[in-house]
Amino acid sequence: MREEPEPTTGSGPDLELVEHQAARSRRYQSLGYRTKRVLLGPALSTAQLVHERISKRVALAVFSSDPISSTAYATEEMLLVLIAAGGAAIGLALPLAAGVAMLLLILVLSYRQVIAAYPQGGGAYMVTRDNLGNLMASVCASALLVDYVLTVAVSVSAGTAALASAVEPLRDYRVAISAAFILVLLLGNLRGVRESGRIFAVPTYVYIASLGGVICYGSYRVLSGLGPIQYTPEQTSELAGAGGQLAAVSLFLLLHAFAAGTTALTGVEAIADGVPAFRKPEARNAQRTLVAMALIMAFLFLGVTFLAIQLGARPFEGGHPTLVAQIAEHVLGSGIGRALFVFVQISTLFILVLAANTAFSGFPVLASFAAKDALMPRQLRKRGHRLVYSNGVIALAGGALFLVLAFRADVHALIPLYAIGVVTSFTLAQAGMTRRHLHLRQPGWRKGLVINGFGATVTLVVLVVITVTKFTHGAWMVVVAVPVLVWLLRRTQRAYGSEIAELKVEATQRLAPPKPRHEVVVLIEDLDQAALAALQYARQLNPLHLIALHVAVDPDRARELCALWTRVRIPVPLEVVDAPGRNLLATARAAVEELVRSDTEVTVVVPKRSFTGFWRRLLHDNSSAGLFKALGSLDGVNVTIVPFRLGRRARLRLVRSEA
């Protein structure tokens, strides 16, 4: 959702810009690169990074798919908690849902402030970093990253459940289907799906219309006397929770159910993050869209909860069929209603997959921000083949795949982990805004202070409630994971910080003069044309000292080499180093190390025989690569590879001699 500012390809003062034809650089393509081309299509040019602006109607659909899609499972999760206190406790769901809607209202008010203050977008991470400092920023980043991974896992699993509710035979394959969806999302996002494309608006509106239709038609039928859902005895045994009696309802249970309902709120921040994508005036359009989204969400969430209570719908232990599917099926009836029911389920699948897709645009951008602040590895900043932050995309898909496999694509099992991260980011963002109001005291800061201060307090309370009530159900994993991630991020930042300090060039620094001595060592395995080329190159360097060095791994060969050396009259002295342990690399390294002095530049020249074709490469152990690695890790030793290519000429000669 968040877009990068437009890049400027202008040139600096000393800049001599050389254009190379793409055809030229295409000559060198590794196997990996060619695979990429086939899977992902041709590489996109950096200049193709464009910045699209979208209308409110499209924005609503694109940014709201995540929160709106959560209405497909939030009610069910709430009921699942309540049902523990007996079937009659279900009646409490409606006031709890209203409470979640209230929380949504508070968030909308708070985020309107964020939008006004940060029209350039950036979201909770930016707000936290600007106002609460680096440590809190890394907490926020960690919490959000965890939640993005959970968004993908939960949405894909819930989408699969919606599909399986309509097409029963698919139930046994939910893990495989969920994994397949993640892989499709991975591939699509590596290819660079246009996130703001209009096409993505369709599923959201179709879902709103179809679920809204079910709610309206269902309410009408309930008022016209539609009876509750009748479960068969077999079904009843598979229903979750105790019997029909109302047991004692504890406060803890109510808070737990409320916490389960808050999963509906994930993704609310997306609009605030994506302000620059709106048409002008961006901030106002974004604020209006935010309100529209909240109204739609509240309607759908409350509507589903209302119908569930009226129709006596109860969640199944295994999650199949889903609560929404039961309601839709009961309301729509058979005949043409059956077809409509399947349509509702498929539209649910679509919006859930779309919701997962929004995480695929959120996670890599957030990771690239964190990487820019040196909190995460540099590789996350690199735009890939198709201009997306490929490494972030892959990391997200990997994490989500892991969760789906570990939790067997079970929404009920994943939900307790969910929402903690996003509510943490809410709290931090509102706290950051509160601090900002106090600090800047811009016009209207008092009103903002009240709104954000209240928002911060409420979200903090909600965070505590969620963490405590869900702790034993799996939330502890997040409580462990986030601090570990924070530690990793801080560790990374320190590592980069010390490196930058060490590598930094001051404007006053000048290039040091060449060292007084230059020693060149040519490593010789055999006296062949490749060795001659390396010796010739070494003489080109015109060093103070030039020697050839042979590591005598095989004493017989060493003797042969010495004899040939004299016969060809090579004007470079040959030194033979005994290697009783036959360890070429360690011996060469020790011999070269002896030459290192602070006033001496040491160059080791290694002849490299390049063999073309798989066959020839198989017949040689590539000792030059090993030498390069062993010697390259020596302080103050420069390693030069002098290539000698074989194969083409050789083949010609062979053909001639055979003819």
For residues 164 and 522, which CB has a smaller minimum distance to a second copy in the complex? 522
Phi, psi dihedral angles at 600 (to 5 degrees):
-120, 135
Residue number, 201 or 531, with CB nearest to a second copy: 531
Cβ neighbours around 290 below 10 Å, total: 26
Task: State the nearest-atom distance from the C-beta of 239 to a second copy, in Å.
Answer: 47
Distance of alpha carbon 294 from alpha carbon 275, whole angstroms: 17
Contact 482, 424 (CB under 8 A): yes
Q: Considering beta carbons, is residue 229 or 576 the nearer one to a second copy?
A: 576
Judged by beta carbon, residue 235 or residue 640, the one nearer a second copy is 640
Site for a second copy in 255-294 (CB under 8 A): none
Amino acid, single-letter form, for residue 4 = E
Largest CA distance in the chain: 110
Among 12, 169, 225, 233, binds a second copy (CB under 8 A): 12
Residue with smaller CB distance to a second copy, 459 or 603: 603
Strands (E), 447-588: 517-523, 545-552, 574-578
From 18-26, 98-106, 283-291, 472-480, give the range in contact with a second copy by CB under 8 A.
18-26
Name the segment binding a second copy (CB under 8 A); options: 233-241, 293-301, 400-408, 636-644: 636-644
> Quick one: 209 or 654, whose CB is closer to a second copy?
654
Q: How far is the CB of 553 from a second copy (least distance, A)?
A: 8
Q: Which two tokens stand for residue 178?
A: 């969920």
Name 403's Cβ contacts closer than 8 Å, sequence gap at least 6: 149, 150, 153, 414
Taking the least distance from each CB to a second copy, the nearer of 45 and 232 is 45
Between CA 535 and CA 530 the distance in angstroms is 9
Closest separation in Å from C-beta 484 to a second copy? 15
Q: How far is the CB of 584 from a second copy (least distance, A)?
A: 10
> Mapping DSSP to helix (H, G, I), strand (E, B) and coil, where does residue 529 land?
helix
Q: How many residues bind a second copy (CB under 8 A)?
A: 142
Q: With respect to a second copy, which residue has the nearer C-beta, 55 or 498?
A: 498
Q: Which parts of 508-537 interact with a second copy (CB under 8 A)?
A: 509-515, 518, 526-532, 535-537
Site for a second copy in 448-467 (CB under 8 A): none
Cβ closest to a second copy, residue 199 vs residue 505: 505
Instruction: Identify which of residues 265 and 549 has a Cβ nearer to a second copy in the complex.
Output: 549
Contact call for residues 256 and 470 (beta carbons, < 8 A): yes
CB of 607 to a second copy, least distance (A): 10
Q: Which 366-405 residues touch a second copy, going by CB under 8 A?
A: 377-379, 382-385
| Pair of tokens at residue 71 | 């209405």
Q: Which is nearer to a second copy, 251 or 503 (CB)?
A: 503
Three-state secondary-structure class, residue 606: strand
Contacts to a second copy from residues 229-248, by CB under 8 A: none
Beta strand pairing call for 600-611 and 517-523: parallel
Strand partners, 130: none
Site for a second copy in 33-92 (CB under 8 A): 33, 43-47
* Residue 86, Ramachandran bin (φ over 0: left; ψ between -120 and 50: alpha; else beta): left
Phi, psi of 193, rounded to the nearest 5 degrees: -70, 135
**Alpha-carbon 381 to chain mean position:** 12
Q: By three-state DSSP, how is residue 299 classified?
A: helix
Of residues 580-599, which lie at the interface with a second copy (CB under 8 A)? 580-583, 585-587, 589-591, 593
| Distance of alpha carbon 154 from alpha carbon 349, whole angstroms | 12
Of 206-214, 279-287, 340-348, 649-657: span binding a second copy (CB under 8 A):
649-657
Per CB under 8 A, the segment of 96-104, 113-121, 361-369, 573-581 that binds a second copy is 573-581
CB 238, min distance to a second copy, A? 42
The single residue listed with the structure tokens 């508070």 is 106
Binds a second copy (CB under 8 A): choice among 31, 199, 501, 659 = 501
Between 445-470 and 475-503, two packed helices, what is the crossing angle to 10 degrees? Answer: 120
Q: Which stretch binds a second copy (CB under 8 A): 106-114, 218-226, 438-446, 610-618?
A: 610-618
DSSP code string of 135-189 = HHHHHHHHHHHHHHHHHHHHHHHHHHHHHHHHSGGGGGGHHHHHHHHHHHHHHHH
The reply on whether position 642 binds a second copy by CB under 8 A is yes
Task: Report d(CA 625, CA 631) in Å as an integer.
Answer: 10
Q: Which 544-563 residues touch a second copy, going by CB under 8 A?
A: 553-556, 558-559, 561-563
Q: Which of 336, 505, 614, 659 binds a second copy (CB under 8 A)?
A: 505
DSSP state of 228: P
Q: Binding a second copy by CB under 8 A: which of 31, 504, 599, 614?
A: 504
- Distances from the Cα of 147 to the Cαs of 135, 141, 516, in angstroms? 18, 10, 59
Question: Least CB distance from residue 623 to a second copy, whole Å?
Answer: 11
**Residue closer to a second copy, measured from CB, 243 or 497:** 497
Q: Report CA dihedral (543, 547, 553, 554) to the nearest 10 degrees.
A: 140
CA distance 111 to 455: 9
Nearest distance from C-beta of residue 568 to a second copy, angstroms: 6
Judged by CB under 8 A, which of 27, 50, 169, 443 binds a second copy?
27
> Measured from the CB atom, is 11 or 472 closer to a second copy?
11
User: Which of 329, 601 has the CB closer to a second copy?
Assistant: 601
Give the residue with the Cβ less far from a second copy, 242 or 577.
577
| Residue 571 makes contact with a second copy by CB under 8 A | yes
Per-residue binder mask for a second copy (CB under 8 A), 472-491, x = binder: -------------------x
Token representation of residue 160: 């699969």
**Least Å distance between CB 32 and a second copy?**
11
- Give CA–CA dist 639/635, Å, rounded: 11
* Phi-psi label, residue 94: left if phi above 0, alpha if psi -120 to 50, beta otherwise: alpha
Stretch that binds a second copy, among 100-108, 290-298, 451-459, 608-616 (CB under 8 A): 608-616
